[in-house]
C-alpha cells in the first residue's frame, strides 16, 4: 500500500473530454479528502473512495470543499490555484489526500462513467498529525513552476 503523488491518468483523458470545469465562478466543485498511510492512491486512482480515509469527530467523510482561486497562463504553462484548506479541531493522522470533482455534469459523467472523478493524489511525504487541533493543507505558490496543478 502506498500513496504516490501524481495527476491521475483518467483526469488527463477527461481534460480532452471537457469533463472538468475549473472556472472559479460557475465551474465544478472540487473537494479534498484525507487518507491514512494504509491507502493505495496513485496515478491509476479513478475516483474518490472512502477506503482508508481518515476518521475524526470533526472530519466529514469525503473531505472538504476547495475554494478555486482561478486559472492562469504564464508563457506556455496553464495552472490553477486553490485556497489553503483547514480542517478545524480534528484528531487524526494523514499520509496524503485526493482532490476530486464532485459535480461533473450528467452528460460528462455519462461519458466517463464515474462519480466523483479524481484529479490528483497528494503525498505528504510522511504522516501528518493533528491532536484536538487544526490541520491546514497549504497549497504551493500559484506560479507556472510551482502550482499544484499545471500543464506545460
3-34 pLDDT per residue, tens: 999 999 999 988 888 889 999 999 999 999 99
What is the pLDDT at residue 111?
Answer: 63
What is the pLDDT at residue 112?
Answer: 64
In-domain check, residue 1: no
In-domain check, residue 102: yes
In-domain check, residue 131: yes
Inform me whether the pLDDT recorded for 105 exceeds 80.
Answer: no
Instruction: Quote the number of domains for the chain.
Output: 1
Inform me whether the pLDDT recorded for 106 exceeds 90.
Answer: no
Inform me whether the pLDDT recorded for 114 exceeds 90.
Answer: no
Rounded distance, CA 152 to CA 143, Å?
12
What is the pLDDT at residue 108?
Answer: 62
In-domain check, residue 136: yes
Rounded distance, CA 31 to CA 127, Å?
20
Domain of 101 in residue numbering reads as 6-151
Strands 30-35 and 6-7: unpaired
35-64 average pLDDT score: 97
Tell me, rounded to whole angstroms, the distance of Cα 126 from its chain centroid.
18
Rounded distance, CA 3 to CA 16, Å?
26
In-domain check, residue 121: yes
What is the pLDDT at residue 107?
Answer: 62
- pTM (predicted TM-score): 0.94
Contact in structure between 82 and 115 (CB atoms under 8 Å): no
Amino acid at each position: 500500500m502506498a500513496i504516490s503523488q501524481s495527476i491521475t491518468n483518467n483526469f488527463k483523458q477527461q481534460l480532452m473530454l471537457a469533463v472538468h470545469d475549473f472556472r472559479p465562478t460557475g465551474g465544478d466543485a472540487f473537494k479534498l479528502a484525507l487518507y491514512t498511510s494504509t491507502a493505495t492512491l496513485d496515478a491509476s486512482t479513478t475516483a474518490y473512495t472512502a477506503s482508508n480515509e481518515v476518521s475524526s469527530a470533526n472530519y466529514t467523510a469525503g473531505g472538504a470543499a476547495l475554494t478555486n482561486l482561478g486559472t492562469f497562463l504564464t508563457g506556455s504553462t496553464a495552472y490553477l490555484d486553490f485556497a489553503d484548506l483547514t480542517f478545524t479541531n480534528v484528531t487524526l493522522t494523514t499520509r496524503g489526500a485526493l482532490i476530486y470533482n464532485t459535480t461533473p455534469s450528467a452528460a460528462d459523467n455519462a461519458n466517463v462513467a464515474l462519480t466523483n472523478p479524481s484529479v490528483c493524489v497528494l503525498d505528504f511525504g510522511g504522516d501528518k498529525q493533528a491532536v484536538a487541533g487544526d490541520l491546514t493543507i497549504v497549497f504551493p505558490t500559484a506560479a507556472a513552476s510551482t502550482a499544484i496543478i499545471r500543464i506545460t
